[in-house]
Amino acid sequence: GAIDEAAVLSTCNRFELYFSAKDARAGLAAASKYLQERSKLPMSTLRESLFMLSSDHASHHALRVAAGLDSLVVGEGQILSQMKQCYYHATASGAGGKVTTRLLNAAVAAGKRARDETDIAKGAVSISSAAYELAEDRLKAQALNGLPLTLKDAKITIVGAGTMTRLLLTHMASHGVTKFTLINRSEPRAREMADEFAESHGCEIQVIATHGDNNVIREHTKDAHVVFTSTSSDSFVFAKEHLTDRTNPLMLVDISVPRNVDPACDELDSVVAYDVDSLKAVVDRNTAKRKREIVQAEILLEEEKRAFRGWLDSLSAVPAITKLQKKAEALRLAEMKRHNAKLQHLSPREIEAVERLSRGIVSKLLHGPMSALRDNKQRTDNKQGVATPLRLVKNMFNL
């Protein structure tokens, strides 16, 4: 068909088809037709949602996607693993060939480099990760005297066992914070989560069930240093009057909507409270920092794009290099055969030495022409009409 090889990247908010074709126009037409047949949409409707790129624009897009520059959250890491999966599926299925797999591999390498050499992926940009970052920063800054300096040294309680808690646990465990008390309305769900994180991250999690009695929460947080709340309760889990008698310091981090913590709790001398608005401020600040890193990341991606383009251009010289090598070897063998009678008196070891000598001479003679063919900077014809190395070598050796 018109398409030689292909790979598909499919995520929650993007569907991309990468392919290689000898004729770009025919390849794009074939891809559009395939998508139209699969979607059963009129082509006029489908085209409104299609975004087509080719050549350097397509490769640059793939690199930007892997680096997280084209994501809703700049620098997010999930897209890099999804690009890796795209590469694995393309190679395992056989649909991806030399060009597409090389592009995807280059994209993954570029994505890693962008994250390693810039701050494009630094700083929390989700509510759950911001909760960890905010709590850790506030402890180090001693926002409240008497609290430990790090979350690793703190007694941590998490109220609620939903999706946000799962994300929070994942983020904290990845930073080496593994000891928690988990309080939830029902025990089975919390127990399942505790067992899961014990197995996957080595966490030690004490599970407590409230059975709908919020007094249980307040009873089991008396000795806590930091409490994260993430429940679906439409009333305050912690109100100011619940904490007026508290003397030991407490940090409350509320990641719930609606709020689980009464803002008035922050007025107490022994309590410091943060809510989703505080976390959004962290997210906004880090998002702005990431966006400032885009310029530096783009410079790195430009280097990676040039490297891929160089490799791609070098493919055009492969047939000429192969022909040159075959022609040189044929000439060498013909000369060896022509002088065979004169070599009869030589021993097998001496004949092998002559073979090696002739191969070495041919190899050294070909080194210059083949290096010129591989030099992608000079391969394309220029507007002054000066012949390229590829054309010169073809003419010189009658290839």
Determine the average pLDDT of the residues in 378-383: 47
β 5-10/15-20 pair status: antiparallel
| C-alpha 17: how far from chain center | 18
Supply angle C-alpha 292, 298, 299, rounded to 5.
Answer: 110
Residue 232 · residue 259 · CB < 8 Å: no
* Nearest Cα to Cα of residue 337 among 355, 321, 322: 355
Reply yes or no: is the peptide bond before residue 148 cis, omega within 30 of 0: no
Query: In the structure encoding, which two tokens stand for residue 94, read together?
Result: 């056989």
Number of neighbours of residue 141 by Cβ within 10 angstroms: 9
What is the value of pTM for the model shown? 0.66
**Which contiguous run of DSSP H or E holds residue 80?**
helix 78-93
Of 30-39, 94-103, 305-314, where does mean pLDDT reach its minimum? Answer: 305-314
Residue 180 · residue 156 · CB < 8 Å: yes
For residue 386, what pLDDT is reported? Answer: 41
Supply angle C-alpha 275, 232, 173, rounded to 5.
Answer: 65
Query: In the structure encoding, which two tokens stand for residue 135, read together?
Result: 């709590």
Known catalytic membership, residue 12: yes
Number of neighbours of residue 244 by Cβ within 10 angstroms: 11
| C-alpha 187: how far from chain center | 36
Name the CA radius of gyration of the chain, rounded: 32
Q: Is the pLDDT of residue 385 over 50?
A: no
For residue 201, what pLDDT is reported? Answer: 96
pLDDT > 70: percent of the chain: 93
Determine the average pLDDT of the residues in 178-189: 96
Determine the average pLDDT of the residues in 90-94: 94
Residue 151 · residue 172 · CB < 8 Å: yes
- Of the residues 12, 86, 203, 265, only one is catalytic, namely 12
Residue 220 · residue 250 · CB < 8 Å: no
Calculate the alpha carbon distances from 201 to 6, 180, 211, 352 in Å: 37, 13, 27, 62
β 5-10/156-159 pair status: unpaired
Reported confidence tier of residue 388, pLDDT bands at 50, 70, 90: low
* Residue 99: HSE in the Cβ half-sphere, 13 Å Cα cutoff: 20
Residues in Cβ contact with 179 at an 8 Å cutoff, skipping those fewer than 6 apart:
156, 203, 204, 205
Determine the average pLDDT of the residues in 272-288: 92
Reported confidence tier of residue 6, pLDDT bands at 50, 70, 90: very high
Of 124-128, 165-169, 212-216, where does mean pLDDT reach its minimum? Answer: 124-128
Tell me the pLDDT of the chain averaged across its residues.
Answer: 90
pLDDT digits (tens, 9 = 90+) for 7-18: 999 988 899 999
Q: Is the pLDDT of residue 381 over 50?
A: no
Query: In the structure encoding, which two tokens stand for residue 146, read together?
Result: 């008497």
d(CA 215, CA 241): 13
